[in-house]
Structures are given as C-alpha cells and as structure tokens.
Amino acid sequence: MKVLKFGGSSVANSENIKKVLAIIENASKEDKVAIIVSAFGKTTDQLLSASHKALEDITLSKEILETIKELHFNVIDALITQNKEEVLKEVHILFNRLESIYEGVFLLQELSDKTLAKVSSFGERLSSFIIANAAKETLDATHGESSDLIFTNDNYLNAQVNFKITNKNIIDFFDKNKHQITVLGGFISSNNIEITTLGRGGSDFSAAIYAAALQVDELQIWTDVSGMFTANPRVVKQAFPINEISYEEAMELSHFGAKVLYPPTIQPALRQEIPIRIKNTFDPESLGTLICKNPKNSNGVKGISHIEDISLITLEGGGMIGIPGFSKRLFETLSQQFINVVFITQASSEHSICVGVYENDAQKAKELLDETFSIEIDRKRIKPISIEKELAIIAVVGESMKNHQGLSGQMFSALGRNNVNVRAIAQGSSEKNISAVINKKDAKKALNTLHEQFFEERIKQLNLFVTGVGNVGERFLAQLQQQKKFLKENLKLNIRVIGIANSRKMFFDNNGINLKNWKESLENGEPTTLESFYKKVKKCNHRNSVFIDNTANQRVSEVYEQYLRESISVVTCNKIACASNFENYKTLKEVSRKYNASFLFETYVGAGLPIIDTLKNLINSGDRVHKIQAVLSGSLNFVFNNYNEQATFHDVVAQAQKEGFTEPDPKIDLSGVDVARKILILARESGYKLELEDIENNSFLPKETLATENNTEFYTSLTKHENHFQNLYKKADDKACRLKYVAEFANGKANVGLQHIASDHPFYNLDGSDNIVLFFTERYPENPLIIKGAGAGADVTASGIFADVIRIANK
C-alpha cells in the first residue's frame, strides 16, 4: 500500500485536481492507495481570516465565505456529474454550518482555539469529500473522515496525537475498507468530542500518521516544487533539488523553515523507516527527493533554510552564575503556555541565556518570564527580560558536516564579507546544523551568499551598480555584455548589472538589467539623486555588490564611504576621492579594510595599464619605492605629439577632447592638475603621506587661460595665446627635443611640468596617448621597472574598470 499526500496548491482548482486524479489513477493501478489532501489552495487562510473578521463585522466574513463557496462549487461543476446532487446537498450543509459558526462568533464576540480549529477543519472536510467524489466518477474510490480516526489531546490548534488509539483506528478502518482508493482530509483530528487540528501545514503530518499506521512501502508528498531543494527556490534562484536526504537532515531543514515539509511529519515515518518521496504535481516525471535512512552522496552541507519573524529573548544577569534552575524555570514557563522555542544559546559564563521564539509569541513570552523571575528582577539579580525583534534564523544543515572541518568558518566569513551581522549562533552537538540569528532584512542575501558558498563554488555572482554612463560607462557596459558568456564559461563568473544611473535617472532590475537595451530602460527609469540611488542599492541588499563610479563628479566621489561601510566594494575612475586630502584617502582605505570591501581605482593612473596593481604588489612583497618618473597624461601626450608649426593649439586640444582623451573639463588635463593628482596617488600608494598642495606644479598655460571659468572661455583663450604655445614648441624643437609633461617623485617630494626631452630618453618616443612609468625601487635601483602603453581613452579606461571588477571577483 502507498500513501500519497497532495498539498494546497496541488488542489487549488479543478485544472490542478485533474492532474491529481491522473496521478492517483496511475498509482492505484498496482496498489491500494490512501490519498491525503489539503484544503483547496489558500482556503485555510481564508477560513481563519473570516473568523477574525467575524469579531468585527459579520458582512466581511460572509464576503470571504462567498469566495470560498465559489471556488468549491466551481470545482464540483467541473469534476462531478454522476453524484452531483448528493454532493451539492452535503456541501451546502457544511457551508450552512460554517456560516452559523461565524454568526455565533459575531454574536458572542468570542473566538476560542476550539472554534478556530473547528472553522479551519472545514477546508479539508470539503476538499476530501469533493475529491473523493470526483475520483468515484471513474475509479474505485471512497471518502474517509480523518476526525473519526486520528485521536488527539485538547490542544486544539497543535494537537498531540495519541498513536496507540489512532493506529488501531486506522488499521481497523482499512481492514474493513475494500476500495482501491481512499481519500481523506489532512490536518484534521479530534479529541473524541470536538474537532482538533494538527497545526498549520499539518496535512503532511496526517499523511505520515497514516503511512506509519499502515506500514506502507512509500509515503509520497506531492507539492508544487520538484523536491526538497538546497534552499527555498522562491528565495534562492540557483537552488536545486536534493536527490536523497536522510530523515534527520530533512527534519532539520523543515524545522528551520523548509516549508515543503511540516516538521513533525517525519517522526512517524522515521520510526518505521518508511521512505518519503517529495514529488511535483505539475511535473510528475521529475525525480523529486527521496528521504530515507541511508542516502547516497552525503557530502558536507545538504541544504540551507531559514525562518523569518523571530524574536530573541534574553535572560541576563550576574545573579544567574552558578545557581542551577534558571533555564529550567525559563523553559517550563514557556512550554506551559505552549510557546515554541526555536533556538537556544547560552553563554559559557552562564551569565545569559538567549532563546529564539516566533515574533507572535515574543510579547507574551516576555510578560510570562518577567512574572516568573519577578523576585530576581526586583532584587536586581537579573535584568528585566529583553526582546529583540525583526530577526530571522538561518540554518546550514548536513549530517556529515561533522566530518568536514572549517564549515562554520566558511559560513561566518561568507556572511561577514557581505555585511550580514550575526546576532547569535547555535551549533547542535550532533553537528547536523549550524544556525545563526540575523536581521530579517538580510535573510535573502544571507541565504544566497551561503548557497553560493556551499553549492555554487563553481559560479560566483557579482552584482554591479553603475553610475555614469557617458563615454567610459557606455564602453564598460558594452564590454561587459560582450564578455558575459566568456566569463561565465571560463572564469565561472556571473556578473550582473542590477542598477544604472546617470545624473538624471536611474533604473534597477533585481534579476540583472538586459544590457542590450539598457539605454531605453534608463531613459524610462525614475528620477535619481545620489542619495536615492544609494538607498535603493542598500535596499536591494545583494551579496557581492560593487558600486562603480564612471563620473568625474566631486559629489559622487563623496559617497564611497557610505557604500564601503555596507561592505559594498567601490571601483572608480573618478580621481577626486583619492586626490583629496590625505585623511580622506586614509579613511577610505581603512573603511575598506574594516568592512572587507574592495576599493579599487586602477584607472586613476594610466587608464587600463596595470600600474597601481603592480605598485601594490611591489609594496606588499616588501619592496620600497625611491623614485618615480612618469609621463602620465595621455591627453597632454596626445596634444604635444600632434602639435607643431602647422597646427593650432586650439584644434589639437579640441581633437583630443573629441577622441575621449581628456577629462570632460580639458583644463584639468592642460593645467597639469590631472597629472599632479596621478603622481600624488602613486606617491600615496607607495606609502608616502602627501597632499596635492605639496606637489610643485609648473603650469605652461598662461595665467589668463588658467583663470577661465568654462570650456568656451578656455578654448577662446587658447586661440588668443597661440603665439605662446608656438614659442614653447619652437624652443624645444630648436634643441631637437620633444615636449613632454613629466611627473617626478623622489625623496618624498613631487613635481609636474613640461620638459624638453632629448632623443636618447625613454620618454622621447612615446606615441599618441601613451603613458609610461619608471619605478626606481630597492629591487630595481638602476634599471627601473617600466610600464608603458596606451594611457587614455574610453575603451582602455573601461577595460581598466573591468579589470578591477574581475579583481574583486577573484578575491
């Protein structure tokens, strides 16, 4: 014999029930079957909410009742022909009784647990009766009343089963019953006089009770997912079904919120070692999950689950130390009032005990405990009970975790890296689970982080938030789109852009923005400010988040710290932050270290050339920088390489800007400020404390040009001073030298300025917008370490940003 249980979504409407009937028909070909059904769809929720409404306004509860009726009559119309009149008569009787109960609640203004149990039982009474009759149309089926068979105590909403009597009832019933198919309601039971219920989600439990009593070969739980997943598939998209899992593991997972099974379900099946198979009504072919005694491939972590709406209750005080009985009194108080303790930790000093309870119970628990410990509290031996709300528990489960060292280390460092604050930790001594209490708002991120850590080591996801989609930003997005497939296949990286913004608008898609039409999406996005963008990024609360600044904007550079403090990495080509005062630079570096978030700016110097990265490697491996000589302005290089007696300075600068070789404000390049910032950053990264003002800047621009206030004035002034620029050129040319804008750092001092470079110098042959850096260090004292290559342009800058993103991914 087999027991098959179908959950609420499997029987949510006539279409679904047809699928169920096909599965039943198939299963009943070889064997007798007991079919346990839940209430249709969300009927139980609706029945309960109508009961509460009846206390306020009977018309509201009748409205809900009407929708419930409509669903049930629709199913009858669609599935029952032969016995229809009888079925309708019985169903009308049930609905009339239900309506009278609601009226009673309204009149008496009383809604006891007893009444709630009675009301909620109607869901399964109706569903089992209707499905039994639908099956009778073509199959050898009958209906059984679970309330006649499952016998419990008086705890109406979470009744305890008396197995001795129940098992006998069930065995006797099936002995007499010769039908191939018996349909019974889950969830309902009785204390011999009144209806009781087995707790929300209790149909699974009913099914296990029948399976154990009848000692069946297999218990099948049919639901709306293809098995027990490595994590709730609604929360973790990458979760996948677990092929086989042990009873204990399944119990831990369901205890910690894997709703696919109701926690006590497994107990009766476990005692009898009955295999449980979880199957998908909507995909009957897929294998599902087998829960059994000795599952195959039990490797480390099996699954991750979580419970939301948890509160922590803490009992604390020096008066507890060394005095036995505190925890006994605590647990006794809670259990007497049926308050479920989900989680326990005790500090080793015995100075505090901390228990997790459902949020609904928290206030009541506090009041009860304050009362229990009132004497100790009055005498100040312990503090009044404290509650912390809005928490969640996440649990990592796996039977053979005890054989794998370092799992908890991995768990907590993965959470830490993603700024998930852990409030309390418990590890069962059986080491089947490690659970942690965290803020509820972090639950989704934490689950995804841990899932990635334990199940997806092969594919790592990075979530990007990009501001600035001008020249550099646009190329970056294009490169990313082009490389996406390669990164996934070769580097096992899934890089998604979740948010983009320009100065006016922002657009977010939590599943990753389609990079083919991001421009259109952004155009239709919502208005943005730096603050609203930040808030939105924070709200998204994705793991491995990276904020990317492709602007040259001062205000954007001021928000990095906020991001870093949320453990969101920052990648930027905006030079302002690191070239601002040293304290600010230092703070950003420190915050980045403290919150374990990368702060990368390779493109500050030499666009995509690996200059800063190389310098970091030198320093980290113990080298010391003595001197740096460099041509660091791709734009100035372009300008002086193209400028001669045949050209005008104005046109050459305009062309450099057009080709994307200058900052949006070309004066920043021409005045030498950009180069000064770059040598400043190299000096700082070399370990020297320097400010921008300390750098001697010998500008070649006329004073008047330096004083211009906008691009138009600036360009006009270039034309006006053409002679000045021609003179500069001629002086160098007369000596067979070229003009190069050189940055130097030595003996703790730096300067930038135009120099005459003779043909034997390594700088002489720099082409186009090339950059070159010479590092003279302890290891490279005479022959410097040289890095040379294209040092400006949107494409190379974008690829530098890209390289920083990959560095973060590989961290």
User: Encoding tokens for residue 604?
Assistant: 């500050």
Single out the segment in contact with Mg ion by CB under 5 A; choices: 5-13, 326-334, 613-621, 623-631.
Answer: 5-13
Least separation in angstroms between residue 489's CB and ligand ADP is 28
Establish if 38 lies at the interface with ligand ASP (CB under 6 A): yes
Sign of CA dihedral 500, 505, 510, 511: negative
Of the two residues 306 and 677, which places its CB atom closer to ligand ADP in the complex?
306
> Which residue has the CB atom at the shortest distance from Mg ion?
201
Establish if 224 lies at the interface with ligand ADP (CB under 6 A): yes
Least separation in angstroms between residue 188's CB and ligand ADP is 15
Single out the segment in contact with Mg ion by CB under 5 A; choices: 196-204, 608-616, 630-638, 763-771.
Answer: 196-204
Establish if 800 lies at the interface with ligand ASP (CB under 6 A): no
Least separation in angstroms between residue 260's CB and ligand ADP is 4
Tell me if 391 sits within 8 A of 437, measured CB to CB. yes
Tell me if 472 sits within 8 A of 574, measured CB to CB. no
Alpha helices per DSSP H over 529-672: 530-540, 554-557, 560-565, 576-579, 582-594, 611-620, 634-642, 649-658, 667-670
Cβ within 8 Å of residue 135, ≥6 positions away: 21, 24, 35, 141, 181, 183
Q: Nearest to residue 310, comparing CAs of 446, 436, 398?
A: 436
Per CB under 6 A, the list member of 44, 311, 345, 545 interacting with ligand ASP is 44
Q: Which does 186 bind (CB under 5 to 8 A by kind): ligand ADP, ligand ASP, Mg ion, none?
A: ligand ASP
Draw the binding track, 121-140, toward ligand ASP (x: CB under 6 A; -: no contact).
--x-----------------
Positions 358 through 387 that interact with ligand ASP (CB under 6 A):
none
Backbone angles phi, psi at 712, to 5 degrees: -65, -50
Is residue 667 annotated as part of the catalytic site, yes or no?
Answer: no
Q: Which does 202 bind (CB under 5 to 8 A by kind): Mg ion, ligand ASP, ligand ADP, none?
A: ligand ASP
Three-state SS sequence of 712-744: HHHHHHHHHCHHHHHHHHHHHHHCCCEEEEEEE
CA 632 to chain centre: 41
Least separation in angstroms between residue 225's CB and ligand ADP is 5
Cβ within 8 Å of residue 253, ≥6 positions away: 228, 245, 261, 302, 303, 305, 395, 397
Least separation in angstroms between residue 80's CB and ligand ASP is 22
Q: Which does 565 bind (CB under 5 to 8 A by kind): ligand ADP, ligand ASP, Mg ion, none?
A: none
Per CB under 6 A, the list member of 16, 147, 223, 637 interacting with ligand ADP is 223
Q: Nearest to residue 438, comparing CAs of 568, 280, 309?
A: 309
Establish if 256 lies at the interface with ligand ADP (CB under 6 A): no
Establish if 232 lies at the interface with ligand ADP (CB under 6 A): yes
Establish if 303 lies at the interface with ligand ADP (CB under 6 A): yes
Least separation in angstroms between residue 280's CB and ligand ADP is 10
Q: Which does 549 bind (CB under 5 to 8 A by kind): ligand ASP, Mg ion, ligand ADP, none?
A: none
Tell me if 630 sits within 8 A of 778, measured CB to CB. no
Least separation in angstroms between residue 613's CB and ligand ASP is 57
Per CB under 6 A, the list member of 190, 191, 196, 203 interacting with ligand ASP is 203
Of the two residues 150 and 260, which places its CB atom closer to ligand ADP in the complex?
260
Q: Nearest to residue 249, comparing CAs of 207, 209, 289, 307?
A: 289
Per CB under 6 A, the list member of 106, 122, 156, 187 interacting with ligand ASP is 187
Instruction: Classify 707 as helix, strand or coil.
Output: coil
Establish if 8 lies at the interface with ligand ADP (CB under 6 A): yes
Per CB under 6 A, the list member of 144, 201, 317, 666 interacting with ligand ASP is 201
Tell me if 170 sits within 8 A of 189, measured CB to CB. no
Active-site annotation holder among 678, 731, 749, 788 = 678
33 pairs with which residues across the strands?
A: 2, 181
Establish if 185 lies at the interface with Mg ion (CB under 5 A): no
Q: Which does 303 bind (CB under 5 to 8 A by kind): ligand ADP, Mg ion, ligand ASP, none?
A: ligand ADP
Q: Nearest to residue 649, comparing CAs of 727, 576, 573?
A: 727
Draw the binding track, 201-240, toward Mg ion (x: CB under 5 A; -: no contact).
x---------------------------------------
Q: Are strands 422-427 and 195-197 parallel, antiparallel or unpaired?
A: unpaired
Least separation in angstroms between residue 376's CB and ligand ADP is 40
Per CB under 6 A, the list member of 102, 122, 151, 229 interacting with ligand ADP is 229
Cβ within 8 Å of residue 514, ≥6 positions away: 521
Establish if 41 lies at the interface with ligand ADP (CB under 6 A): no
Of the two residues 304 and 683, which places its CB atom closer to ligand ADP in the complex?
304
Of the two residues 305 and 557, which places its CB atom closer to ligand ADP in the complex?
305
Per CB under 6 A, the list member of 123, 144, 185, 201 interacting with ligand ADP is 201
Cβ within 8 Å of residue 602, ≥6 positions away: 608, 610, 611, 612, 613, 800, 801, 803, 804, 807
Draw the binding track, 715-754, toward ligand ADP (x: CB under 6 A; -: no contact).
----------------------------------------
Establish if 185 lies at the interface with ligand ASP (CB under 6 A): no
Three-state SS sequence of 178-224: CCCEEEEECCEEECCCCEEECCCCCHHHHHHHHHHHHCCCEEEEEEC
User: Encoding tokens for residue 697?
Assistant: 């800047």
Measure Cα distances from 771 to 501, 551, 636, 651, 793 in Å. 31, 21, 10, 22, 12
Establish if 234 lies at the interface with ligand ADP (CB under 6 A): yes
Burial class (CB within 10 angstroms; exposed 0-12, middle 13-18, buried 19+) of 346: middle
Establish if 158 lies at the interface with ligand ASP (CB under 6 A): no
Q: Which does 187 bind (CB under 5 to 8 A by kind): Mg ion, ligand ADP, ligand ASP, none?
A: ligand ASP
Q: Nearest to residue 249, comparing CAs of 312, 303, 205?
A: 303
Amino acid at 383: K
Per CB under 6 A, the list member of 2, 9, 198, 743 interacting with ligand ADP is 9
Residues engaged in binding ligand ASP (CB under 6 A): 7-8, 38-39, 44, 123, 186-187, 200-204
Catalytic residue list: 678
Residues engaged in binding ligand ADP (CB under 6 A): 7-10, 38, 201, 223-225, 228-229, 231-234, 253, 258-260, 303, 305
